[in-house]
Structure 1
Amino acid sequence: MATEVKMPKLGIDMVDGLISRWLKEEGDTVEANEAIAEVETDKSTVEMEAPAAGVLLKIVVPPDELVDVGAVIAYIGEEGEAVGDGDRSADDSAAAAPSVEEAGDAEAAPADDSATEKQRPAPPDSDESKARAAPSGEPTPPGGVKASPVARRIAAENDIDLSRVEGSGPGGRIVIRDVEQIVEAGGLPAEEKSAPQAAPVAAVAAPAVHPQGESSEVPLSRMRKRITEVLTASKAPVPHFYVTVDVDMGKAMTLRQQMNESLAEEGIKISFNDLVVKATALALTRFPNINSSFAGDKIVMHGDINVGIAVSTEAGLLTIATRQTDKMSLSELSQVTRERADRAREGKMKADDMGDTTFTVSNLGMFGVDSFVAIITPPEAGILAVGGIRQEPVVAASEIVVGSRMRITISADHRVTDGVEAAEFVNEVKRLLENPLRMMV
């Protein structure tokens, strides 16, 4: 039986992807785990690997087409084997954006006793089921209607009000098939008249732009659009607060130099950021509450510590993933980080290079920045902003000497943690960096 090749889920919040190009043609023989296509996500372009060995029997989705996660995009099987046309709708199990409960072995700590009762689906033969229409009086969920981008596009092309559509996807998300059913039915049923409702609060309009001089317009890339969506969704509803400390990097600088001298023959070079990431991961073992996610009526405590590292590329800012970072040696962390950062900058990221991070480190020290604050990436509960190492006069043993100082700032989610815990956390990172041999045991 032929194997279905589906649009893979390459990140915790990925809902769709675009086939930028096929690396194989119909009729080509492929090996399992061989790269067969390049998939463009909101964040990067990633090589997609074949799930099985065989012949690429049929390509269902052509290049430059956007499809939901879980949609069948090709078939692999034995030569001459008959296959169908493929299901262009997302499979629920594959398309489901994993909730924060699914990131590693996680425990859910109750935040309150409230819970939202899930609505039962309508009977299969009802008008509501045929049209997938939600009751007209049902309020729009905070942040807008949950729908895949492809479903939104089809709805816009057919003048379908998504606020009246009940999604059949995970968590009530509207997927392609929901909108296609409405199109096939000739549109949504007439909306029942109801008592007048209070007018919604108008959204704050963006200020008008008045071009100055010889201006030009640059369309937003998919990545820039995604950055806009994610960070706006973070900064608006997530109550950020910030805690900053200065770190004496003298001992860390000495240790780094000694390690790099001893590892030179192996081609390994430890960076200052490697030391910061390692210290952060070890600090998270002592403060698991910060290695968590807010999930409505509970806080999810992640079983793994997966530190993400912000990387600047020509296409925009990407976050590469390290997994079980607290258990990695500094040399291993250095190698993994360097390889993944290089692939990110070259636009050749692999699926394992991204996603499933539980905390992020962003370092702008190499750009001459002393300090800054960063925006939390949902669903994480914090991000550490790292400045550059600066030489400045300090008092040591009643004398003024030149010291090496680095400023770090945590941006934390106040729904998950508080100022005291955040202060203790950054001071633990500081303690490890000022006594770096502790990271070696």
Structure 2
Amino acid sequence: MALEIRMPALSPTMEEGTLARWLVKVGDEISSGDIMAEIETDKATMEFEAVDEGTLAAILIEEGTENVAVGSVIAMLAEEGEDIADVKAPSGDSAPASDEAQAEPAKSEDAPEDAAKPASNEGAKATPVARRIAAASGTDLSTVEGSGPRGKIIKADVEAIRGGTQDPPQRSGNRVIASPLARKLAGDQGIDLADVTGSGPGGRIVKADIDSFTPTAKSAPAASQDAKAPATSATQQAASDYDAPYEEQKLNNVRKVIARRLTEAKQTVPHIYLTVDIRLDPLLELRKQLNASLEPDGIKLSVNDLIIKALAKALHREPQCNVSFQGDVMHQYTRQDISVAVAAPSGLITPIIRDAGKKSLADISNEMKELAGKAREGKLQPHEYQGGTASLSNLGMFGTKQFDAVINPPQGMILAVGAGEQRPYVVDGELTVATVMSATGSFDHRAIDGVDGAKLMDQLKTLIENPMGLVV
């Protein structure tokens, strides 16, 4: 009996994801542990490993499809001795309700016309997500055409109505079935879906059908009706007040989450910012000596490695800043888990150095290099970026002198580090030129008082200007 391969939950908070890329094709022999696909979650792009063995009989969700609900059937696996031609996709009743639900079964030629008609939207079912979006936007579900199994209304249907891209409901038995992504591409390119032959389950039109579609004489007039419509090139003319040309870039899941969380942080977390100037010369000299002694081991410490350790030690000395605001209570942490901001192709992500206060500088350096590499390749595992008790963002390597970082809730603080530069500085009562950097702490004022934040910044300054405390 064929096995159903379902959309996995690759993180505790994942409810849906984007099937970014298939790494196998129909007919391939699959063994347990084989990498089958790359899936984009709300945090990173991760590899999906096969659990069962067999022959890949069908791919039901095309690559590039967004908002695929966890638990949706995405492929079928034929067991040993089973002919892949005999494997059938699950019916709408057996597939889980998802916002990228499978297409309806093909209509039988002999079926009565009334039975082939989609159910009236007045009594149509809708997924919980679709109902929530409709309620929030004031959309009447009776005006929405459902594209899910048995006419079920899904998220994409409601969003299409809100965006004005869905045509008025068609009640004929010749209803066009297409994925939301295919509908969007067809609209962008001026393609009439009625002219496209679907290759998906039940004749559903998918992205590949739009990509391979060649306009016929019938569809050509439709594409040329609006002579002012932009061409299908990536660069379009903006409909803004300034008519500046632009190139539309689709937001990936990571960027969407970043936008949502940063907006929530600035709207709901009262930030207080405290800045100190720190003399770096002693730290740079210690780093030089340590790197010389660690060279035979292949270890090279960065300034950032030492600052991670300094922040962890400062939080140990001022534990009232190693906290998170939790509504009616506050969590004070006994371990310093430092989230370090890393710029990855998909967006900003913060891998975590756990228990950084008790780790050696060499261990922090090795772990940070490994995590940063995995972050840039999109291969971080959930336990490597979820959590953290405080964050560090360092833009000094880009020449940024000073900046204020946004807190990453529910954490209570984040340290923003600027570039070290030559400045006039008073050392032991005498004016001299020193390498100085500005560091700014952003604190959640609900959980951390200004004086406590100031104490933490003072401890950080002390540890960096007297760095022998970082090696013990």
Under a length normalisation based on structure 2, what TM-score does the superposition of the two structures give? 0.62
Deviations 1:127-181 (A, max 9, x none): 9x99979xx9xx98xxxxxxxxx9643543577xxxxxxxxxxxxxxxxxxxxxx
Match for residue 270 of structure 1?
301
Give 1:162-311 correspondences, 5 Å limit.
209-211=240-242, 214-222=244-252, 223-302=254-333, 304-311=335-342
Give the 3-state SS of the residue equivalent to 1:388 in structure 2: coil
Tell me how many residue pairs correspond in the alignment: 342
Give 1:119-134 correspondences, 5 Å limit.
none
8 Å contact kept, 2:9–2:15: no
Q: 2:464 aligns with which of 426, 430, 433?
A: 433
Quote the Cα distance in structure 1 between the aligned partners of 2:395 and 2:62.
40
Shift of 1:54: 3.6
Unpaired runs of 5+ in structure 1? Answer: 91-126, 141-149, 160-207
Deviations 1:227-258 (A, max 9, x none): 22221111011111111112222221111111
Unpaired runs of 5+ in structure 2? Answer: 99-122, 137-152, 163-238
Deviations 1:377-423 (A, max 9, x none): 22222111001111222222333222222211111111111101111
Match for residue 68 of structure 1?
69
Shift of 1:60: 5.5
Shift of 1:310: 1.2
8 Å contact kept, 2:7–2:69: no
Quote the Cα distance in structure 1 between the aligned partners of 2:450 and 2:284.
29
Quote the Cα distance in structure 2 between the aligned partners of 1:230 and 1:349.
19
Match for residue 435 of structure 2?
404
Quote the Cα distance in structure 1 between the aligned partners of 2:326 and 2:424.
45
Quote the Cα distance in structure 2 between the aligned partners of 1:359 and 1:76.
44
Amino acid in the other structure paired with 2:276? V
Query: Greater shift after overlay, 34-43 or 324-333?
Result: 34-43
Change (3 A) 1:335 1:46: same
Shift of 1:373: 0.4
Deviations 1:8-66 (A, max 9, x none): 343x654421111122446533344x53321113443222344x464476755442223
Give the 3-state SS of the residue equivalent to 2:278 in structure 1: strand
2:413 paired with 1:413: no
Query: Greater Rg, structure 1 or structure 2?
Result: 2
Quote the Cα distance in structure 1 between the aligned partners of 2:407 and 2:355.
20
Shift of 1:362: 0.5
8 Å contact kept, 2:4–2:73: no
Under a length normalisation based on structure 1, what TM-score does the superposition of the two structures give? 0.66
Query: Greater shift after overlay, 61-70 or 368-377?
Result: 61-70
Quote the Cα distance in structure 2 between the aligned partners of 1:309 and 1:440.
20
Change (3 A) 1:398 1:215: same
Amino acid in the other structure paired with 2:311? T
8 Å contact kept, 1:48–1:351: no
Give the 3-state SS of the residue equivalent to 2:404 in structure 1: coil
Give the 3-state SS of the residue equivalent to 1:417 in structure 2: coil
Query: Greater shift after overlay, 412-421 or 225-234?
Result: 225-234
Match for residue 393 of structure 1?
424
Q: 1:322 aligns with which of 345, 353, 366?
A: 353
Give the 3-state SS of the residue equivalent to 2:350 in structure 1: strand
8 Å contact kept, 1:291–1:358: yes
Give the 3-state SS of the residue equivalent to 1:269 in structure 2: coil
Change (3 A) 1:384 1:155: same
Quote the Cα distance in structure 1 between the aligned partners of 2:72 and 2:321.
35
Amino acid in the other structure paired with 2:454? A
8 Å contact kept, 1:384–1:408: yes
Match for residue 153 of structure 1?
156
Deviations 1:113-134 (A, max 9, x none): xxxxxxxxxxxxxx9x99979x
Match for residue 48 of structure 1?
48
CA RMSD of aligned residues (A): 3.8
Quote the Cα distance in structure 2 between the aligned partners of 1:243 and 1:316.
27
